[in-house]
Amino acid sequence: MSDDSRTPEQLRRHYEVERELAQRLLNSTRAERTALFRTLYDELFARVPDHPRKLRRDSPETIKKAVAARMALLQGKLEGVQTFIEFAPGDCTLAYEVCRHVNRVIGVDISDQTGASSKAPPNFELVVYDGYNLNLPDASADLVFSYQFLEHLHPDDIEEHFRLVHRLLRPGGAYIFSTPHRFSGPHDISRFFTDTPTGFHFKEWTYAEMTAMLKRIGFRSSHTYRFGKPRPCVCWTAATLFLEFLFSLLPRKLQRRLSSRIFQAVTMAAIK
> Could you tell me how far CA 148 lies from the centroid of its own chain?
2
**Cβ distance 201 to 191 under 8 Å?**
no
Angle separating helix axes 30-47 and 8-26, nearest 10 degrees: 170
The pLDDT score that the predictor gives to residue 43 is: 93
The pLDDT score that the predictor gives to residue 3 is: 63
pTM: 0.94
User: Residue 230 — very low, low, confident or very high, per pLDDT cuts 50/70/90?
Assistant: very high
User: Residue 102 — very low, low, confident or very high, per pLDDT cuts 50/70/90?
Assistant: very high
**Cβ distance 125 to 104 under 8 Å?**
yes
Helix (H, G, I), strand (E, B) or coil at 38: helix
User: Residue 144 — very low, low, confident or very high, per pLDDT cuts 50/70/90?
Assistant: very high
Determine the average pLDDT of the residues in 146-171.
Answer: 97
Q: For the chain, report the end-to-end CA distance as a whole number of angstroms.
A: 35
All domains of the chain in start order, with CATH = 59-271 (3.40.50.150)
Which amino acid, residue 137?
Answer: P
Question: What is the rounded distance in angstroms from the CA atom of residue 219 to the CA atom of residue 115?
Answer: 35
Tens of pLDDT, residue by residue over 53-78, are 877 777 788 889 999 999 999 999 99
